[in-house]
Structure 1
Amino acid sequence: MADVIDSEVFRAFTTHATLVVLKMLLMAPLTAYFRITRKAFSNAEDVSSHAKSPEDKKKFIRSDPDVERVRRCHQNDLENIIPFIIIGLLYSLTGPDLSTALLHFRVFTVSRLCHTVAYVGALPQPSRGLSWMVGMLATVSMIYRTLSTVLLL
């Protein structure tokens, strides 16, 4: 096990996993920023510093398209980065070639960054769809490699 943890593949996985988790964690403050700048809150207690009267509270508790866009991007991160972390760890344990592993990790990381820019920036399709698909293909490729190694297909 010590050999795996000290391997270049595992260090590369750790680096890229940390980067995408950091990116995912930064989506929460970005959501807060959009909520504050758009004055669109989901809870009554969140509007107390903005509302001067009870009637004002009602106008600040609302949905905003920009806030919802950032929230959906964050949700998409949760749906894609967590599986990447799990399968990436298992894939790293199969002893893949360093260059192949780096390709998988880099492609996924860049695809998630591009996906966020495309989603939050409301870039025209197919930019968001393609960036999502590329990341998904990298993850599926690691799944295939992991299963084929373990099951000896």
Structure 2
Amino acid sequence: MAQAVLESFVQQPIFRTYLFYVAVLGIKMLLMSVLTAIQRFKNKAFANPEDAEPRKLKVKVNEDVERVRRAHLNDLENIPVFIIVCLVYLTTNPSAIVASALIRVFTAARILHTLVYAVVVIPQPARALAWIAGYVITIYMSITSILHYLA
């Protein structure tokens, strides 16, 4: 019975959209580790002595590396919460058009956040606007879910 319910849920187009974009966000977060490593090698800025010593370098901090790390930490603070909240939101039987748009905009906002923070480095308010878009979507989904299940 539970498997049949899960299978019917997975066949819904909105849930398939959710799964697709969760996978995109997962790849995005994994690529942040690669981007950090690229910046470390490019700037010869290693965090651990065992990484620096074979290259005859000293441990050092570099702003380009730190920008990528901060962007990655921001992903770790925001994306997992969105994934959980969005899943709960989808159980409230939302409009498929609205839910799809929210999922897509959140994903685009997180990618844009990384681009303006760690890749292209565009001054504020670009990063703040990208962050706020994702944050507002997560809050909206949370409140909608709370109100749905409160009734």
- Give yes or no for TM over 0.5: yes
Unaligned stretches of 5+ residues in structure 1:
52-56
Q: How far apart are the structure 1 equivalents of 2:102 and 2:67? A: 27
Residue matched to 2:115? 117
1:141 paired residue number: 140
Identity %: 39
Residue by residue, what CA displacement relative to the aligned partner does 1:65-92 show, whole Å, maximum 9, x if unpaired? 0000000000000001010111111111
**RMSD, aligned α-carbons:** 1.1
User: 1:13-37 CA deviation, whole Å, 9 max, x = no partner?
Assistant: 1111111111011000100110011
Runs of 4+ in 1 over 4 A off after TM superposition: none
Note if contact 1:4-1:93 (Cα within 8 Å) is conserved in structure 2. no
What TM-score do you get using the length of structure 2 for normalisation? 0.92
Offset of 1:8 from its aligned partner? 1.1
Normalising by structure 1, report the TM-score.
0.91
Comparing 7-16 and 73-82, the one that deviates more: 7-16
2:29 to 2, 24, 27: 24
Code of the aligned partner of 2:63: P
Q: Counterparts of 2:25 and 2:10 in 1: how far apart (Å)?
A: 20
Q: Distance in 1 between matches of 2:133 and 2:123?
A: 17
Residues 1-153 of structure 1 mapped to structure 2, 5 A cutoff: 1=5, 2-51=7-56, 57=57, 60-120=58-118, 121-152=120-151
2:60 aligned counterpart, secondary structure:
coil
Unaligned runs of 5+ in 2: none
Maintained 8 Å contact 1:9/1:96: no
The one of the two structures with greater contact order (alpha-carbon pairs below 8 A, sep at least 6) is: 1
Count residues in correspondence: 145
